[in-house]
């Protein structure tokens, strides 16, 4: 849809993940993202009611109207799936035109176009390694992250895309983290996606509790 400006997205989500202690975890709720106010709000309904507010600098956990945790959260918003989708930068994970990474290789493998991105900033080279991006039908399909020594850290797969008023958004994201030679899965599903919602302004512009 030419000329379409996307600024908000809302979706019901569920996250199933396996933990290092051998247990599994299920989280369910609704996520709200507003591009202009730079706020990501998770209204969690299960396993217990709480709100996660992520700004461009901090993450806040709020229960019963009180902040119970606050920690730095730099770049989470910019590289979130919501911001990338709304900004039409999802196919290359926002790295196209990003000065922090440079494109070093592109190859075709069956139905996939695979590109390799390498940190170009010296301070980044001490923190992270290459990122592999695979596209299928011009949509982001897979991400592979390596550490600075070339060791595999994680993989992500984006599937079941649907079109919402011109916005392409995946219905399922599978993340595999590799820790001490073991695989840990995190599967996120999205339903009831709403684009450019003009209701629920209070949630989209969520204000921190005042003590």
Check residue 1 and report its DSSP letter. Answer: -
The CA-atom distances, in angstroms, between 129 and each of 68, 104, 116, 144 are: 34, 12, 10, 10
Residues in the chain where the model's pLDDT stays below 50: 1-3
pLDDT for the residue 4: 65
Contact 41, 52 (CB under 8 A): yes
pLDDT for the residue 211: 60
pTM: 0.91
Contact 29, 44 (CB under 8 A): yes
Separation of alpha carbons 72 and 57, rounded Å: 6
Fold for 8-204, please state it.
outer membrane lipoprotein receptor (LolB), chain A (2.50.20)
How many CA atoms within 13 Å lie on the side-chain side of 161? 19
DSSP string of 153-204, one letter each residue = EEEEEEE--EEETTEEE-SEEEEEEEETTEEEEEEEEEEEEEES--S-HHHH
Domain boundaries of the chain, sorted by first residue: 8-204
23-81 residue pLDDT tens: 899 999 999 999 998 899 999 999 999 999 999 899 999 999 999 999 998 888 988 99
Pairing of β 112-119 and β 24-34: unpaired
């Amino acid at each position: 849809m030419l000329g379409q400006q996307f600024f908000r997205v809302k979706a019901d989500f569920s996250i199933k993940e396996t933990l290092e202690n051998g247990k599994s975890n299920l989280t369910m709720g609704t996520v709200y993202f507003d591009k202009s106010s730079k706020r990501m709000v998770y209204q969690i309904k299960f396993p217990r009611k709480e709100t996660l507010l992520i700004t461009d600098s901090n993450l806040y956990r709020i229960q019963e109207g009180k902040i119970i945790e606050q920690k730095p959260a730099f770049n989470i918003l910019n590289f979130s799936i919501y911001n990338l989708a709304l900004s039409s930068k999802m196919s290359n994970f926002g790295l196209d035109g990003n000065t922090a990474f440079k494109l070093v290789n592109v190859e075709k493998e069956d139905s996939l176009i695979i590109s390799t991105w390498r940190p170009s900033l010296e301070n980044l080279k001490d923190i992270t390694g290459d990122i592999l991006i695979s596209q299928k039908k011009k949509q982001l399909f897979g991400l592979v992250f390596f550490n600075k020594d070339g060791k595999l850290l994680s993989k992500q797969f984006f599937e079941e895309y649907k079109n919402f008023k011109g916005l392409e958004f995946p219905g399922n994201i599978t993340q595999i983290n590799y820790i001490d030679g073991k695989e840990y899965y995190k599967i996120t599903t999205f339903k009831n996606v709403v684009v450019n919602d003009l209701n629920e302004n209070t949630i989209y512009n969520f204000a921190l509790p005042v003590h």
